[in-house]
Chains A and B, each alone.
Chain A
């Protein structure tokens, strides 16, 4: 409603021409109505991509405006030879390997169990999804306090269970544990909600038929629910991989990429080259290499899904 005020002036002329030439008015109205979004979209979503491609061929600095000198492909060759870039890339991949399996499997298990409950679904949804709406820095503050040596909750729980207490902030392995646990808590609800929505689409008569045939709850889950959720699992998996590869907030806030840059992800590497050593052109080249990797992963997934859909012989049960 409020938007009507802001945008009224733009499509007003359409009203005058509307009665005489309907097809023409539709054409003009279409352009005028999509223009505001399209301009913002081209300038501020496609724009940065174009700017990035251009900058990657120049030795631009981030401190002053202007492009700097043309350097051709030398930024790219430097990025590809930089061990720090590939270390950072590996850290992002490592984070993906740590977080994706528990986030997908636990979300599937929790959603399947929650869908079988007659009561308390709203409670489960609130409990699991609430962390997702909390800002990352607040999550980092709370978890940093829980990871505090001697007095933190995690430290107490680990020693209470007789487990060795890792140095959550000061060591690499402890740091990965800390970041993984925090990410698990923070983003678990997203996958849970996707699975819950998919579960609602499974008709109940399938279960009734299975129950009449004598299938117990565990058999129903294993032979009906999980196979029918295979498309959702594939979706959740790719969304999770893409989200994990883009990790920045958690590692930056909790560990600062440390100790000794041993957990620094790619986005923080780009951030450091661009805003600490001010090498804008070089950072842009690193951005483009990373960008190509991300797009390749999602394109591979789309291709695989097409191929699987075309291959009718593939049974649904393979994704379990």
Chain B
């Protein structure tokens, strides 16, 4: 379609007629693309709605009419069942405490390190930068077994710290802060220093207040990563009540379980808080993913 327009275009001297002829092809093309993409996006949302619809039905009507989500009426019965039979409240609490501790310490420690690497010339700075850069390539998920043995010998297994410490040690967060701090004009820092501010004050009252975007990126990504961590919490937390949401819900994964509505109600409870966080911060989250991924 488009190629014919292009071959005829040089032959005509008047620009207006080619434009009028050319509008139709691209417009059709764009409309076709929009339809395809929207269809694709709607398909992507189906699992969420399917889980939601299933969770509101009764197990009997699900097995009888599996593909008609409105058959048999809707109720919240499965949710009260799931809440009563699984310690979901505890799982929420554990996930929340662990993720918040991880966020607080990651933002604190990594911003301090990022500040030092960006503004201060000190012995060992080059070594630290090299070490942290090398750490970016380290596949930490592969090292769970030695990690487990190390944590056991430090008596950290079964504690919240066992889950908080690995996310503080993530080198990406330091790089996010480092990159942001380097964008701060040095005259600002020098002015604060001439006014007699200590380096700690420069960090805490000059740099941190203006680095809210970097802090938000690190905080949100750390929160999501530590909330969703699976393998490491699975190894570290062995008491049912001390588990996090992903590990606790994993115990429901069983293909002989025919309590479809109850299981789906639990998984809706599992994805709801994160989807809420995502919908509120979707711009920051996707920007954060883009900047940390491209690095």
Mark A residues whose CB is within 8 Å of B: 1-4, 6-7, 11-12, 14-15, 18-19, 22, 25-31, 33-34, 36-38, 40-41, 43-49, 51-52, 55, 60, 62, 65, 110, 113-114, 116-117, 120, 122-131, 133-138, 140-146, 148, 150-153, 156, 169, 185, 188, 190, 193-194, 196-198, 214-219, 232, 235, 239, 242, 246, 248-249, 253-254, 266-267, 270-271, 274-275, 280, 283-284, 287, 290-291, 294-295, 298-299
Contacts and interface: CB of A to CB of B under 8 A. Distances in A.
Given A25-B199, A47-B150, A280-B149, A7 B112 contact: yes
Given A129-B278, A129-B286, A216-B2, A4 B204 contact: yes
Interface in B5-64: 5-6, 9-10, 18, 22, 25-26, 29-30, 33-34, 36-38, 40-42, 44-48, 50-51, 54, 62-63
Contacts of A33: 112-113, 115-116, 120, 199-200, 203
Contact of B124 (A31, A246, A270): A31
Nearest to B193: A22
Residue from the set A37, A129, A130 with the largest chain B CB neighbour count within 10 Å: A37
B124 A19 contact: no
A18 to B, nearest CB: 5
A217 B3 CA distance: 10
Nearest to B246: A135
A62 to B, nearest CB: 7
A137 B253 contact: yes
Contacts of B105: 3, 6
A55 B142 CA distance: 15
A150 B253 CA distance: 18
A52 to B, nearest CB: 3
Given A26-B120, A151-B63, A214-B9, A248 B138 contact: no
A41 B200 contact: no
Contacts of B249: 135, 137-138, 141
A3 B169 contact: no
Contact of B247 (A123, A137, A254): A137
A255 B213 CA distance: 41
A294 B143 CA distance: 12
Given A11-B200, A140-B253, A197 B287 contact: yes
A144 B196 contact: no
Interface in B237-295: 245-247, 249-250, 252-253, 255, 260, 263-264, 266-267, 270-271, 274-275, 277-279, 282, 285-287, 289-291, 293-294
Nearest to A60: B149
Given A127-B41, A284-B146, A151 B246 contact: no
Contacts of B87: none
Nearest to A45: B169
* Residue in B113, B128, B169, B271 whose Cβ sees the most chain A Cβ within 10 Å: B169
B290 to A, nearest CB: 3
B122 A26 contact: yes
B153 interface: yes
Contacts of B26: 216-217
A253 B253 contact: yes
Contact of B104 (A6, A156, A291): A6
B6 A214 contact: yes
B128 A34 contact: yes
Interface of B: 1-3, 5-6, 9-10, 18, 22, 25-26, 29-30, 33-34, 36-38, 40-42, 44-48, 50-51, 54, 62-63, 66-67, 104-105, 107-113, 115-117, 120-125, 128, 131-132, 135, 137-150, 152-153, 165-166, 168-171, 174, 193, 196, 198-201, 203-204, 208, 224, 227-228, 230-231, 235, 245-247, 249-250, 252-253, 255, 260, 263-264, 266-267, 270-271, 274-275, 277-279, 282, 285-287, 289-291, 293-294
Contacts of B54: 145
A275 B231 CA distance: 12
Contacts of A137: 230, 246-247, 249-250, 253, 270
Contact of B135 (A46, A122, A290): A46
Contacts of B107: 3
Chain A binding site: helix, strand, loop or mixed by DSSP?
helix
B245 A52 contact: no
15 contacts: A22-B193, A31-B124, A33-B112, A34-B112, A36-B108, A36-B109, A141-B253, A142-B50, A143-B47, A145-B264, A217-B29, A239-B293, A248-B230, A275-B148, A287-B146
Contacts of A14: 198-200
B146 A49 contact: yes
Contact of A38 (B42, B113, B198, B246): B113
B188 to A, nearest CB: 16
Nearest to B152: A65
Contacts of A26: 120-122, 199
Given A110-B37, A133-B277, A136-B228, 9 more contacts: A29-B200, A36-B109, A45-B135, A113-B34, A134-B271, A135-B230, A137-B270, A151-B63, A294-B142
Contacts of A117: 30, 33-34, 37
